[in-house]
Amino acid sequence: MRESRLKQLLQRLALRTQFLPFTWLYRALYAWAVWLCVRRLQRISGVCSIYLRRGLASGRPLYGLSDIDLLVMVDTERHEQAAARVRYQYELLRRAIPMLPEGELWLYHPQQFRELYEHSEFYRNRFDQGRREWRRLFGEDIFQYLPPPSGEEGFLALQELNPAWYYLA
């Protein structure tokens, strides 16, 4: 109960301080948090790239309320061990950085990333959007291994929503 009131108070404060000079403070705080995340995660052997996704990457953050959403690509023969180390470091970072959400770390192996792109319309649309909006923070470009984007955005959105329409009908 007490924790939820504190969280609500902090959210109200963040909403009321969405103007200068507070936005400069928020930008510096978010930049520091992203730098710390990249610094800690890039040291793990097997991490080949780190991407920033969603609000911060697209330039539409609501400072104080936006989360830092990361995608980490792990490429080794023992990718399960490297993925476990990335998850552990992420949980340690979450204790110090309140903008890191629980369960929002995307963690892929390059082969899995390619298979999702090739066989799932939903992920193909997400990853094609990621080509335009995600910001690479460390490592190699993961999109160079994917085929070029296919079609128009409206067509991709229609294909993504088609199963939902079928289910609702």
Per residue in 63-107, pLDDT (tens digit) is 666 788 899 999 878 888 999 999 999 999 988 888 888 888 999
* All residues at 6 or more sequence positions from 116 whose CB lies less than 8 Å from its CB, including other chains: 108, 123, 127
For the chain, give the percent of residues with pLDDT over 90. 25
Q: What is the predicted pLDDT for the residue at 138?
A: 93
Q: What is the predicted pLDDT for the residue at 83?
A: 92
Residue with token string 């948090």: 33
Q: For residue 9, what are the domain limits?
A: 2-168
CA distances (Å), origin 39, targets 35, 44, 158: 6, 10, 39
pLDDT at residue 61 greater than cutoff 70: no
pLDDT at residue 56 greater than cutoff 80: no
Between 57 and 89, whose confidence is greater?
89
Say if CB 67 and CB 100 are below 8 A apart.
yes
For the purposes of burial, counting CB atoms within 10 Å of the CB of 80, is it exposed (0-12), middle (13-18) or buried (19 or more)? exposed
Q: How many domains does the chain have?
A: 1
Which whole number is the average pLDDT over 52-64? Answer: 71
Say if CB 99 and CB 14 are below 8 A apart.
no
**pLDDT-derived band at 22, boundaries 50, 70, 90:** confident
